[in-house]
Amino acid sequence: MRRYDAFVQLTAALTREDEWYVARCLDVEVTSQGHTVEEALANLREALELYFEGAELPEELEPPIIATIRIPA
């Protein structure tokens, strides 16, 4: 049963691929895309809602570790 008074905060990363923005959820394996950043995030939100439909939302998620890695060019 969905709890409308509760929210789970998830982390998304966006990249530009040709004419698309690709939005990836870093907490679960869900990805979507759109022609704008806003559209990509809205589509990702919808995909995440479908992903969690009928499932209990996690009470707490440990935030992902995001790091920059440099390699020789």
| All structural domains of the chain with their residue ranges | 12-52
In this predicted model, what pLDDT tens digit does every residue of 27-47 receive, in sequence order?
999 999 999 999 999 999 999
The DSSP code sequence of 6-66 is ------EEEEEETTEEEEEETTTTEEEEESSHHHHHHHHHHHHHHHHTTSPPPS--PPPP-
pTM above 0.75, yes or no: yes
* Residue of 68 and 6 predicted with greater confidence: 68
Instruction: Say how many Å lie between the first and final Cα of the chain, rounded.
Output: 51
d(CA 69, CA 40): 25
What is the overall mean pLDDT for the chain? Answer: 90
| pLDDT band (50, 70, 90) for residue 71 | very high
